[in-house]
Structure 1
Amino acid sequence: MATDVQSGALQGRVILVAGAHGGLGRAASIACARAGATVVLLGRKVPKLNRVYDAIAKSGERLPEPVNYPFDLEGASPDDHAELANRIGDGFGRLDGLLHCAADFRGLTSLERSDPAAFARAVHVNLTARAWLTQACLPLLRQAPDSAVVFVVDDPGRVGGAYWGGYGLAQHAAAALVGMLHAELANSPVRVSGLQPGPMRTSLRAQAYVEEDDREAVEPARYADDCVTLLSTAGVARRGQVWSPLP
């Protein structure tokens, strides 16, 4: 259940979660619903989206009913992103938050041996698609009295090392995007911030670390309430920052 601090923190708000069926995306979507939000679940894999939908709609907690929106960030064009934003506007008349949890990482490899298509896909999903989706949603977000865009980013000190390829480069750029958008939107109702969680037990992390030897990672649910904090009015204190909460 949501804590007393988080209960009602997103009451009446509409939150779009990109990558809603991933490790943190799933946990954050459930936490946002428990905080009172109607959550638009964005993801590529419909069966996994359905499981997140069921976790919210059939929880027995009388939470706002979420909405599934199957969407392939890798293949979607800017026009597809614009259509997504239009459908949210037509369906709800508002958008109060955008949480970027979607990520693509296929394993460690040297630049010399990397597949060019895989390199380009990692840069696109982890950076370009995030920028396109944010751009498409900004007109709706500007209409809200208080709204937030939150980018989940990886530790630049770790993914800036050898073999992290397009994923590592995109994570550095996404962190820079937080500061750039914050400066551009400083006089608007749209808050921009980043969340840099610690190591989490996710399928993405398993591509780089042997699970039985991974002593640092925690369950993604540990950081779900931090996502709610940044999406709610409490996130004002973190505006323009990339926040690294303690595990």
Structure 2
Amino acid sequence: MSLLELPSAAPRPLAGRVILLSGAHGGLGAEAAKACAAAGATLVLLGRRLPKLNRVYDAVAQCGPEPVLYPLDLEGAGPDDYAELVDRLEAELGRLDGVLHCAAEFRGLTPLEHLDPAAFARAIHVNLTAPWWLVQACLPLLKQAPDASVVLAVDDPARVGAAYWGGYGVAQHGLHALVGMLAAELAATAVRVAGLQPGPMRTPLRARAYADDVGEDLRDPEAYAGACVTLLSPAGAAWRGSVWGASAGNAGQ
């Protein structure tokens, strides 16, 4: 199946599902939100910048079911904040069928030797610890769904494992490991875990590393929104426990 195609088996493959989307106002997150809404999902839009979150809300509301806004800063949130989030989801929506994590933070290429220790710790926390705390808090509610999915957007480990990628690069390797580890532990449950590794995208995050990025394979985040829908839908079972490595025109396990 082409990465750019939505699942064809059903016109609204996420109908009736509640999906929590972190990083909802980011490049990939905003496009994934619109695609998931068009596929029938009720979205809980999580992000730290309320004005941007409101703009995504307006766009999503035109595509599908009315979403729910949940402003939250992953840098400052703790386990209790995620537990409160899940309690509110259960009380107000009664279910949770998927988590799509698109949030990421990267502040620029810096030699490790000169990287501020606090900046390194912040990058590890926002890009690895916080996503895990979020997923961990959601697992009890996800396990109540007949078919639930956790999808983590990850970066190319070969690229961000090179020089100067700092805490962000280290955290991305951790996310790749988390996909396989968590999937193995949940293999006997109805909760599927997968990663999505998009190809190069035109986003502010990438621009901080590549000032003059004109690669032929560079695409807008919209090109990968369909893959998010696929992984959150029943069709995503094909990628259980794996990272879907994607390019502009094709995808593979």
TM-score over 0.5 for the pair: yes
Aligned amino acid, residue 10 of structure 1: L
Taking the TM superposition and a 5 Å limit, the aligned residue runs for 1:1-247 are 5=8, 7-57=11-61, 59=62, 61=63, 63-211=64-212, 213-247=214-248
User: Cα distance, 1:172 vs. partner?
Assistant: 0.3
- Per the normalisation by structure 1, the TM-score is 0.96
Q: Deviations over 1:159-191 (max 9, x none)?
A: 000000000000000000000001100000000
What RMSD in Å do the two structures reach over aligned CA positions? 1.3
User: Cα distance, 1:115 vs. partner?
Assistant: 1.4
User: Cα distance, 1:10 vs. partner?
Assistant: 0.2
> Do 1:182 and 1:191's aligned partners in 2 also have CA atoms closer than 8 Å?
yes
User: Cα distance, 1:246 vs. partner?
Assistant: 3.0
User: Cα distance, 1:218 vs. partner?
Assistant: 0.5
Q: Deviations over 1:113-169 (max 9, x none)?
A: 111111111100110001100000000000000000001000001000000000000
User: Cα distance, 1:101 vs. partner?
Assistant: 0.2
How many residue pairs end up in the alignment?
A: 243
Aligned amino acid, residue 8 of structure 1: R
Q: Which has the higher contact order (CA 8 A, sep 6+)?
A: 2
Instruction: Name the SS of the counterpart of 1:20 in structure 2.
Output: coil
User: Cα distance, 1:215 vs. partner?
Assistant: 4.1
Gaps of 5+ in 2: 249-253
> Do 2:201 and 2:220's aligned partners in 1 also have CA atoms closer than 8 Å?
yes
Identity %: 66
> Do 1:108 and 1:208's aligned partners in 2 also have CA atoms closer than 8 Å?
yes
